[in-house]
Structure 1
Amino acid sequence: MSVPPVRSTRLGLEAPEVREVLSRLHERAQLRDADVMRRAYADAAELSAPPTPAEASALCADALLPVAPHVGRLLYTLVRMLRPHNVVEFGTSFGASAIYLAAALRDNGAGHLTTSELEESKIREAGAGLADAGLADLVTIVPGDARQTLADLPGPVDLVLLDGWKELYLPVLKVLEPSLADHAVIVADNLSMLPEDYTAYVRDPANGYVSLDLPLGDGVELTSRQKAAR
């Protein structure tokens, strides 16, 4: 029988078990990700068509791709401020962003994170990291294509992080829309890489959102749901 980890009485991102796992992930990403992504782009260029989400996931299987530390602190701060009950993430990867989110849920004393990941090896890595950080009980990792796994979630969903395959940000958001709470907050990472259809959609008030860009990491689009889209 496995023994659950002993949680530190020091909360926040400075809790030793949280700080250790986040430091480990960010350090590994610095050493590994540039080379992995260079090879991934080279391999993708040899394909006869743009890679599918499954192909892209396989090409990037060894890349950690964590949110930048300042973006992680934004996520932690938003959860502490908004006190969401249901948080959803698209793109678990190795679990860094899940740790920022779950640490805030733990410190709030309520709430749960559902996060979706296509690559099985990353699911295992993320689960191990969450366990090491003492946060595994606050997170459910659902395997598979987020367009299916995040459909029909019990709502209301209060906070969404989009941090997976960029071309799927808008399809995933539309899958989640029926479950979104009024005034739900959506954080889309890697703004410089986002397709124009995503930013055009969330910046159009007719779709029921108000949105702005933030100069954190590689750019963040921070969006609030104002009313149910018609």
Structure 2
Amino acid sequence: MFAAAELDESIRKPVSESASAQERADLLEDLYLPISPEGGNLLYSLVRAARPDTIVEFGTSFGISTMYLAAAVADNGTGHVYGTEMNAAKIAHARANLDGAGVGENVTILEGDALETLTELPGPIGLVLLDGWKNLCLPVLRQLESRLEPGALVVADDITFPTMADYLAYVRDPANGYVTVAFPVEDGMEISCWTAGSVG
């Protein structure tokens, strides 16, 4: 899948800044838009260590990052991954990929706008991966915040993108309840621990 994803740049289509999230998702439905292999290994390790019962992934695409999360859940013997994706074709590909890897039963993919589909997802949420449209990472996090369990991990991908500036300013401000660190994988990841709900 990573080899196929390397072709993304050769088939990437220009997308207008004014395009809606759904329009962008449909225009880029052939692109994998994956995390890096190192980022995948990091996600797997975090899930194995934290053993969260509920994992939320904003931006499933073809399911590469989902596969790392679901494999860790399977190896832990506990937990469930809730992915989000706007494009129906990508959801079909992701489900096929996850089933082919033998981890499909550990994942539910919610179709549609994550700001709507995640509204009813119950907490507590133990780990969040933010890898969807970068301008929506902060709104998605703010929507989930009241359901984060104390010590929950929030991982944001592609933090070198200029469109992640508002997100980074938010999680790096101690007043907002996070202890956070940048991790040097391709395009960067920010790993933030939610402390606002912790005692002491």
**Cα RMSD for the two superposed structures:** 1.3
Q: Does 1:213 align with 2:182?
A: yes
Match of 2:160 among 192, 211, 214: 192
Secondary structure in 1 matching 2:160: helix
- Indicate yes or no: 2:198 matched with 1:226: no
Equivalent position to 1:106, from 65, 74, 80: 74
Other-structure match for 1:35: 10
The aligned amino acid for 1:64 is: Y
Which residue of structure 2 lines up, in the alignment, with residue 137 of structure 1?
Answer: 105
Which of these residues, 121, 145, 166, is aligned with residue 177 of structure 1? 145
Tell me, in whole angstroms, the C-alpha distance in 1 between the residues paired with 2:54 and 2:153.
11
- Rounded Cα–Cα distance in structure 2 between residues aligned with 1:152 and 1:131: 25
Unmatched segments (≥5 aa) in structure 2 = none
Which residue of the partner structure matches residue 67 of structure 1? Answer: 35
User: Cα offset for 1:217?
Assistant: 1.3
Moved more, 192-201 or 90-99: 192-201
Match of 2:91 in 1: 123
1:35 offset after TM fit, Å? 1.5
C-alpha distance after superposition, 1:167-203 (max 9, x if no partner): 0000100111111111110000011114311000000
**Identical counterparts, % of pairs:** 47
Q: Give aligned pairs, total.
A: 197
| Matched-pair contact (CA < 8 Å) for 1:152–1:179 | no
Match of 1:26? 2
Q: 1:85-139, CA deviations, whole angstroms, 9 ceiling, x for partnerless residues?
A: 1000000000000100000000001100000000000000000000000011100
SS of match in other structure, 1:124: helix
Q: How far 1:50 sits from its partner (Å)? A: 2.2
Q: Distance in 2 between matches of 1:153 and 1:92?
A: 16
TM-score by length of 1: 0.83
Residue 53 of structure 1, CA deviation: 0.7
1:98 and 1:223 mapped to 2: Cα distance?
A: 19
Secondary structure of 2:191's partner?
strand
Moved more, 83-92 or 50-59: 50-59
TM-score (norm: length of structure 2): 0.95
Q: 1:62 aligns to what SS in structure 2? A: coil
Query: Larger radius of gyration, structure 1 or 2?
Result: 1
User: Runs of at least 4 residues of structure 1 off by over 6 A?
Assistant: none
Q: Retained in 2: the 8 A contact 1:36–1:60?
A: no
